[in-house]
């Protein structure tokens, strides 16, 4: 593989699949910039759900049913916590806990989240570089008809059912992308926006410091793969959030949100009729089957995304 360098921006489960497909093609030529807005503290442990979902998926150890957590994990510690009267709606497995224990210990020793993430990912044999977008604390806050909720309360405990009025990213303005993220963007031949939730997974990455402006002025191809197929999200609250923000959920609605910083957009073949409207935004369009159910699917969608950036990948 020519030393093609790509930066992928990704959130949780959906984005992680494409990141893994890109890793199949690019290996260590891929840098994955992960969302940190879902991070939170639980029993004194620092939990980074999107970074862990990306890490486990890139390492090939993620639970294939859920997309998050470790395949085959057990929940003995959680059962004991429940016996002590703790709430256990956030399902932390025993192997997953090892990740949180070590991350918390290393952060307490003064390591940056970037260094902690690199140690964990390297130990699991991840080839791509996994980079938190920032080492500073950023917290997604969801303003709903039940009041302000932290992200996991909204997403997991309430199963994203509350009606959302607004999403905020506390700390994002003061935060800065890490030097590693800036170097990766400078060295990149292309950038891929993975099919994560635009509102609560991609936006919190773009909102950190001047990341969105940097992508706008990068002068390199930036391609996004649609997270919406035939008006529905492949997974999670994307379509519901579009409706709550007064928009009809569609791949075109996503392309409109990204049009100021992407040069290309990959539509699912079920939405091929939207191509002219997306092109009218000044964005090149590629069309493929974007559903990723197998390793081959992930590789195919990754190849389609890179071809849309005219980045030659053998």
User: Which spans of this chain sit near ligand FO1 (rule: CB under 6 A)?
Assistant: 11-13, 38, 49-50, 52-53, 68-69, 90-92, 96, 152, 155-156, 201
Between 48 and 188, CB nearer to ligand FO1: 48
What is the nearest approach in angstroms of ligand FO1 to the Cβ of residue 220?
27
Which two tokens mark 35?
């969302």
What is the nearest approach in angstroms of ligand FO1 to the Cβ of residue 274?
25
What is the nearest approach in angstroms of ligand FO1 to the Cβ of residue 181?
19
What is the nearest approach in angstroms of ligand FO1 to the Cβ of residue 299?
22
Between 29 and 69, CB nearer to ligand FO1: 69
In angstroms, the CA 242 to CA 198 distance is 10
Between 50 and 244, CB nearer to ligand FO1: 50
Q: Which residues contact 79 (CB under 8 A, 6 or more apart)?
A: 88
What is the nearest approach in angstroms of ligand FO1 to the Cβ of residue 189?
28
What is the nearest approach in angstroms of ligand FO1 to the Cβ of residue 263?
26
Between 204 and 221, CB nearer to ligand FO1: 204
Between 66 and 310, CB nearer to ligand FO1: 66
Provide the 8-state DSSP code for 29.
Answer: G
- What are the start-end ranges of the H helices in 263-311? 275-279, 295-308
What is the nearest approach in angstroms of ligand FO1 to the Cβ of residue 7?
20
What is the nearest approach in angstroms of ligand FO1 to the Cβ of residue 91?
3
Between 150 and 307, CB nearer to ligand FO1: 150
Beta strands in the chain (DSSP E): 6-10, 30-34, 40-42, 45-47, 129-132, 139-144, 147-150, 164-170, 190-193, 222-225, 228-229, 232-233, 264-268, 284-288
**Which residue in the shown chain puts its C-beta closest to ligand FO1?**
12
Q: Which residues contact 306 (CB under 8 A, 6 or more apart)?
A: 4, 6, 22, 25, 190, 192, 223, 313
Between 96 and 203, CB nearer to ligand FO1: 96
Torsion of CA 20, 310, 213, 243, to 10 degrees: -60
Spatial CA neighbour of 216 closest among 249, 179, 260: 260
Torsion of CA 212, 10, 184, 298, to 10 degrees: -130
- The residues pairing with 150 across neighbouring beta strands, listed in sequence order, are 141
Q: Which residues contact 109 (CB under 8 A, 6 or more apart)?
A: none
Between 155 and 287, CB nearer to ligand FO1: 155
CA angle, 37 as apex, 163 and 300 as ends, to 5°?
Answer: 95
């Amino acid at each position: 593989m020519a030393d093609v360098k790509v930066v992928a921006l990704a959130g949780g489960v959906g984005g992680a699949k494409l990141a893994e497909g890109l890793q199949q093609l690019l290996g260590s030529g891929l840098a994955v910039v992960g969302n940190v807005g879902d991070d939170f503290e639980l029993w004194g442990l620092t939990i980074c759900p999107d970074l862990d979902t990306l890490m486990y998926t890139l390492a090939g150890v993620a639970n294939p049913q859920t997309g998050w957590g470790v395949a085959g994990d057990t929940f003995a510690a959680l059962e004991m916590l429940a016996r002590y009267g703790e709430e256990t709606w956030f399902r932390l497995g025993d192997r997953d806990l090892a990740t949180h224990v070590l991350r918390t210990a290393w952060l307490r020793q003064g390591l940056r989240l970037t260094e902690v993430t690199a140690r964990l990912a390297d130990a699991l044999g991840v080839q791509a570089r996994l980079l938190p977008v920032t080492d500073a604390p950023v917290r997604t806050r969801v303003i709903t008809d039940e009041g302000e909720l932290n992200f996991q309360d909204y997403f997991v405990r309430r199963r994203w059912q509350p009606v959302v009025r607004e999403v905020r990213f506390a700390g994002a303005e003061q935060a800065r992308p890490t030097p590693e993220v800036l170097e990766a963007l400078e060295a990149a031949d292309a950038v891929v926006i993975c099919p994560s939730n635009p509102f609560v997974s991609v936006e919190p990455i773009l909102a950190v410091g001047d990341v969105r402006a940097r992508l706008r002025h990068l002068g390199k191809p930036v391609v996004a793969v649609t997270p919406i197929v035939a008006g529905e999200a492949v997974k999670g609250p994307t379509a519901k959030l579009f409706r709550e923000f007064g928009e009809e959920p569609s791949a075109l609605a996503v392309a409109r949100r990204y049009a100021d910083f992407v040069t290309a957009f990959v539509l699912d073949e079920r939405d091929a009729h939207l191509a002219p409207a997306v092109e009218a935004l000044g964005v090149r369009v590629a069309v493929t089957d974007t559903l990723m159910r197998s390793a081959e699917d992930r590789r195919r969608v990754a190849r389609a995304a890179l071809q849309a950036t005219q980045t030659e990948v053998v």
